[in-house]
Amino acid sequence: MEALMVFQYGREIQVPGTARMLEFLMTSDDGYSSSTAGGNTRRYHGLFVQGGRMLLAGLDEKVNGIRLSTQQYEKASDDEGLRYLYGFSVYPPSWVYWLDDIIIKKTVSFDGNLSVAYQISGDADLWVRPLITDRPVRELLRAPAPACINKRNGFGWKELFFEGDLPFESHPDTYRDIWYQREHERGYEAVEDLYSPGIFEGRVSDSTVMFRCTGNAHSAQNSHRTQSPQTFPEWLEWASDAFCHRDEIVAGYHWFCESWGRDSAISVTGLLIERGLKSEARAVLKRLSDMNQDGVIPNRFPDNYHTSDASLWFIHALARYRRRWGDDPFMEKMKPVIGNILENYPSSPVASLDHELISVVPKSTWMDTEFTPRGGKPVEINALWIGALMEAEAMGILTAVSPDSAREEFKRFWNETAQCLYDVIDPVDPAIRPNQVIAISLGLVNPEQATTALDTINRLLLTPYGLRTLSPSDPKYQGYYTGDSSYHNGSVWPWLTGCYVEALLRNDIPRERAAWVLAPVLQHIREAGMGYISEIFDGNPPHRPGGCIAQAWSVAEIARAYKLVFEPA
């Protein structure tokens, strides 16, 4: 597992389908730079995205009149440049082109500001036309007309300035009917126009030409590193940094570029606590505690409090913090917050105390679509509830329910027929789902039943990339992602792997076997979002990745699982 993980590709990327499946992503506090080896395929792709707005979409490039850039249009694809592409690597993303006796290496770097370097061996006429817009990343725009101001060696628009080492000539043009393949495949609007204010052009002989796009100074702070690490642990550390910005954890790229309560509370352990980043973890936890309202921490900030698990995951994260750093002054400040949650959460709009366990309203767990309402007593909610009671007891916080009595009632979750845990009780839902691994990982299931349940999980839910969200034997199972109906009814969510591996090790499964579970998902970082772990995979082979190309809790929990297997305390 310590093998070198250099991301280098050769002639295989001359195939458009291959080149356009390899997505890169570099992030900063409030921006990112992202595309594929073969051009933009999503509305979210752009070389300079800041504050949720698409600004610099890309560059149209020619060398000696031959177009190197690739772009798909509504009625045609311009793939000619791929025939000259003989190498691609990340990070930073680099393309190597050969045109007879001319070699061009293009490198894109982003640290909140953008630089594009063209290293040219030989004599070449280089022609570059920036393609810009000004729109929210979730929208598309026809006939954009950004208010550009020509400046020395370039131009400016919004708060950005684009300049280059070659002479700039104002020559406005509109590129019409740009088509985004992945948006089309997802059933969304896929066509827009891009604007170009002019052309950079000049003769280059055995030298390097630079282009720069600079924004406000704030975006360059706390930026994600762009230099490639080499081993799996280094890659997981590198990927973790992409989501952590000051006191926030971004949920996922590209369409969850914001901090969510549940995702942050789950991710903070793997992204920060297990890495020993104490002050950073404390900042995230403090922000979550400040959002607490009558025992409930919101899922989507600032005011969506319809989540029955964020508060419990928050206490779970605090327990991990305390296990690593002890009862320091920060934990003393968190004691009244924990007490407030345990007092008010059981009578909140999303949860209620029924005897010793917690009943929740529909669509309030992490499986939150109308197709998986899970109203009643979900297994992971009550496992986390008992964990919170145990943490309170260890810290000397009085609670209305004792952890021992709650654990006793938790035994009702055992499903003798299926030889595993019910996903929901009161009312009983016999669907076999993976949420039970959270309870097993916390040691709430006796060893004999845990072993039997893990056998059931391995037989029905385990795939090379994690656990299916529903057994294929269930009539509601959907093996391929098609939208919300399949989101939690068959899709594989790799974030559950952390608890699954923890459950294996707790129940004396050899670390070597747990390592086998991690091998495919670690190799996945060479595809889709290079260097990252996707949000979901199809439940059926070949388990195609989907959703966000870089998901915080996927990276966090795989990183935590890796440490459990290869770096045990």
The total domain count for the chain is 2
Say if residue 386 is in the same domain as residue 529. yes
Claim to verify: residue 523 and residue 426 sit in the same structural domain: yes
CATH number of 324's domain: 1.50.10.10
Helices of type H across 96-186? 181-185
- Tell me the pLDDT of the chain averaged across its residues: 94
Residues in CB range of 475: below 8 A, 6 or more apart: none
Are 103 and 185 within one domain?
A: yes
Looking at the structure, tell me whether residues 336 and 464 fall in a common domain: yes
Judgement on whether residues 360 and 308 belong to the same structural domain of the protein: yes
Span 385-400, average pLDDT: 96
Distances (CA, A) of 158 to 178, 194, 251, 551: 22, 16, 27, 30
Q: What are phi and psi of 503, to 5 degrees?
A: -65, -40
Q: What are phi and psi of 102, to 5 degrees?
A: -105, 130
Whether this model's pTM surpasses 0.85: yes
466 domain residue, yes or no: yes
| Whether the Cβ atoms of residue 24 and residue 95 lie closer than 8 Å to each other | no
Q: With contact defined as beta carbons under 8 Å apart, do 431 and 371 qualify?
A: no
Of the three residues 188, 220, 252, the one that is the final residue of a domain is: 220
| Predicted confidence (pLDDT) per residue in 541-555, tens digit | 999 999 999 999 999
Q: What is the CATH number of the domain that holds 99?
A: 2.70.98
Q: How far apart are CA 34 and CA 420, in angstroms?
A: 43
Whether residue 226 is contained in a domain is answered as no
Chain segment 480-501, per-residue pLDDT in tens: 999 999 999 999 999 999 999 9
For residues 198 and 169, the answer to whether their CB atoms sit within 8 Å is: yes
User: Cα(133)–Cα(43) distance, rounded to whole angstroms?
Assistant: 12
* Tokens read off for 528: 């889709």
Please say which residue of 194, 220, 246 terminates a domain: 220
Domain boundary among 170, 200, 220: 220
Residue 2 lies in a domain: no
Token duo for residue 371: 């197709």
Alpha carbons within 13 angstroms on the beta-carbon side of residue 197 total 20
If asked whether residues 192 and 270 sit together in one domain, one would say: no
352-390: pLDDT as tens digits: 999 999 999 999 999 999 999 999 999 999 999 999 999
In angstroms, the Cα distances linking 81 to 4, 99, 140 are 30, 10, 25
Higher local confidence (pLDDT), 131 or 5: 131
Domain membership flag for residue 528: yes
Residues 373 and 428 in one domain: yes
Return the HEC string of 338-403: HHHHHHHCCECCCEEEECCEEEECCCCCCCCCCCCCCCEEEHHHHHHHHHHHHHHHHHCCCCCCCH
> Has residue 141 been placed in a domain?
yes
Share of residues in the chain with pLDDT > 70 (%) = 97
The H helix count followed by the E strand count for the chain is 15, 32
Average pLDDT (190-194) is 98
What letter represents residue 189's amino acid?
A: E
* Region of poorest pLDDT, from 117-126, 226-235, 417-426: 226-235
Alpha-carbon distance of 394 to 126, in angstroms, equals 67
pLDDT for position 78: 84
- Span 328-355, pLDDT tens digits: 999 999 999 999 999 999 999 999 999 9
In a domain, 1, yes or no: no
Q: How far apart are the C-alpha atoms of 137 and 54, rounded to whole Å?
A: 5
pLDDT at position 6, please? 67
Q: Are residues 293 and 420 in the same domain?
A: yes
CB 86 within 8 A of CB 11: yes
pLDDT at 227: 63
Residues 479 and 411 in one domain: yes
Tell me, yes or no, whether 293 lies in a domain: yes
Residues 278 and 197 in one domain: no
Domain assignment of residue 113, given as a range: 7-220
**Per-residue pLDDT at 557:** 98
In angstroms, the Cα distances linking 405 to 114, 357, 386, 421, 424 are 58, 9, 9, 19, 19
Do residues 186 and 256 both lie within one domain? no
**Which tokens go with 562?**
């890796």
Do 193 and 244 sit in the same domain of this protein? no
Domain assignment of residue 227, yes or no: no
Enclosing H/E stretch for 193: strand 191-214
